Amino acid sequence: MTAPADGHPPSTPTYDRIGPGYRDIRRPDPRLSALIHRALAGARTVVNVGAGTGSYEPADAEVTAVDPSQVMLDQHPGRRRILAAAEDLPFEEDAFDAAMAVMTVHHWPDVRRGLREMRRVSRRQVVFTWDPHHLTELWLIEEYLPEIRQLERSRFTPLSTVVEALGVHTVLPFPVPHDFTDGFQIAYWRRPEFYLDPVVRRASSTFALLPASVVEPAIARLRADLASGAWHRRHAGLSARDSVDYGYRLLVAGEGGAGTT
C-alpha cells in the first residue's frame, strides 16, 4: 500500500470516525452491483476513487483502490490500495480502462478537479451519486430531520454539474429497493425501525455530521410514532411499494458503457 507523494495523508475526520464497523452495515446491494458492473463491462483495469471498503468493485478486473482515509483502506480487501485524494490521483494519463466512484463525489473538496482527474487517468468513467434537485424526499427528512435537507443540498453537487464536468453520455436511474442492503441514509425508507439503531446511524456520513442535540430528539419522536402506530398510519402506502426513485443516478462517460440517457 502506497502513501501520497508528499507523505501526508489527507484529512478525513468523518470517515476516520465512522469507518470502524462500516462494512457490517454498508453491504453491497446485488441490484446496484449489477448496474455498476454492466457499466464497467470490458474494463480490465479499474481505479476506484473514494473506494472505502471496496463495495461494488468488479471481480473480473484488476482494481486499484484510492481513498483519503486510512481507516477505510484498512478494511479494503484488495492488494492495490493507495492513500490519496480524488483531486490529486498519483497515476499517469489513461493509466486505467475505467474509473469508478460510488457515493463519494459529495465528499470531495473540489468536485470539478476530482472529476477532471478521473477523466485524465481513465478512458471510461462510472459515477453513482444523488441528484439534490430531485423532488421526491425521504419522509425522515420531511417529518423528523429537516436539517438533513440543508446539509445534503450544501454538499451534493447538482447532477447537471457532474454531467457537464464528466461529459456524461448515459444517465441511469436507480430506484431504491425496499430491502436495499447498503445501509446509507435512504436504505430504510420502508424499514423505519432501523433508524433507531445507533450502529446503523453511525455508518451514515449524514448522521455523523449532524450534532446529537439534533439527531437524538428526532429519533425519540420516531420511536414514539412507531410505538403508537402513528408512523404506519401515515405511511401505509409504502408497504405496497417495492422501490422508490429518490434521485440516485448512475452516470457513464468516456469510451464504452451502455444504457439510455
Three-class HEC string of the chain: CECCCCCCCCCCHHHHHHCCCHHHHECCCHHHHHHHHHHCCCCCEEEEECCCCCCCCCCCCEEEEEECCHHHHCCCCCCCEEECCHHHCCCCCCCEEEEEEECCHHHCCCHHHHHHHHHHHEEEEEEEEECCCCCCCCHHHHHCCCHHHHHHHHHCCCHHHHHHHHCEEEEEECCEECCCCECCHHHHCCCHHHHHCHHHHHCCHHHHHCCHHHHHHHHHHHHHHHHHCHHHHHCHHHHHCCEECCCEEEEEEECCCCCCC
Query: Is the model's pLDDT at 203 over the cut of 90?
Result: no
pLDDT for 25: 58
Query: Is the model's pLDDT at 219 over the cut of 70?
Result: yes
Mean pLDDT of 229-241: 97
Mean pLDDT of 176-189: 93
Query: Is the model's pLDDT at 161 over the cut of 60?
Result: yes
List the single range of 10-19, 34-43, 152-161, 177-186 with lowest mean pLDDT: 10-19
Q: Which residue has the higher pLDDT, 49 or 74?
A: 49
Mean pLDDT of 153-182: 95
Query: Is the model's pLDDT at 41 over the cut of 60?
Result: yes
pLDDT tens per residue across span 88-136: 999 999 999 999 999 999 989 999 999 999 999 999 999 999 999 999 9
Mean pLDDT of 237-248: 97
Mean pLDDT of 180-208: 91
Percent of the chain with pLDDT over 70: 88
For the chain, the average pLDDT equals 89
pLDDT tens per residue across span 3-32: 443 433 344 544 444 444 555 557 899 999
pLDDT for 6: 40
Domains and CATH numbers, the chain: 13-132+149-183+245-254 (3.40.50.150)
pLDDT for 155: 84
